[in-house]
Every structure is written in structure tokens, then in C-alpha cells.
Amino acid sequence: MAAYFYTVANSFRQLKAVEQVGPDFWPKIILIGVMALSIFIILNERKIKNEIGPARGENEAGNRTRVIWGGILIIVYIFFLDYGGFVLLTPIFMGSFMYLLGVRKRLFIVISSVLFSGIIILLFAKFLLVALPRGIGVFRNLSLLFY
């Protein structure tokens, strides 16, 4: 899938000088990383499977449930992102996902989700000037306080 989107990134119109970064640069960098990590994970899983053998883990049903809930959480986050805005929903999403993955220290969840969301906002909205969803109504006003 990443290879397909890499070809899509190649089709972006270029309106830049030779030394400038075009609109295809960051998608290509991210997709190359996705492809490399996918290959690494596939090879690592095969190695583990060969070492362990055909026996399955005891917690496979629990892992499947976490994957399903994780997918549902991602879909809900994406659906409501335009309404609630990045500033409000991203820390909630990150904290919920950490809880889903087994992190139970509430203070750690709150601090890390707010801190990493702030870093993402600072990096993308302030430095790279990427437009993040601001939300509508009062959520937009909240986002305008941060970027």
C-alpha cells in the first residue's frame, strides 16, 4: 500500500525551483519509512514464528480485541477531528490509545499525551506550517489560542 501511495506522491504537481522541497517530499519520506518498517516487522515476525513454532499464544483473543478497539478508536478520532479540532482530540486519543495498550498510570498518560500533542502542534503548525484541523465553534476558538 505504501508503494502505491509513493507513486501517487510522484504525481504531485511541482511548482518549485530545483533546490526547494516540493509537496511530494514529506509524503515520500514517510512512505519510505513505512515500507522499511513494514519489511522489518514482517521479517521479525517470521523469525519469531520459526523460533516459537506453530503453538499460539494464550492471549491471542485479547490481542485481537485490542486491535479491533484500536481500529474503532482511530476511526472515531478521524471522524470527529474536523469537529473537535486537533488540540482537543489528539491528547484524548493518545491517552485512550495508551490505556487500551495497557498503560494504567493516569498521571503518565495525561502528561505524555499532552506533552507529545504539544510537540506535534509546535513542530507541524508552527515550524512546518502544516494546517491542522481546528474544529468548529468553541473548539476552533480553543485551537486559535494555541496556533
Is the same domain home to 90 and 126?
yes
Intervals of the chain under pLDDT 50: none
Report the pLDDT value the prediction gives residue 100, as an integer from 0 to 100.
Answer: 92
Is the same domain home to 32 and 103?
no
Query: Structural domain of residue 121, as residue ranges?
Result: 60-147
Q: What pTM was estimated for this model as a whole?
A: 0.62
Distance between CA atoms of residues 36 and 89, nearest Å: 29
- Torsion angle (degrees, nearest 10) of CA 84, 87, 89, 94: 170
Is the same domain home to 72 and 128?
yes
Contact 69, 93 (CB under 8 A): no
pLDDT digits (tens, 9 = 90+) for 49-63: 777 655 555 566 678
Residues 6+ apart with CB under 8 A from 10: 24, 28
Report the pLDDT value the prediction gives residue 48, as an integer from 0 to 100.
Answer: 77
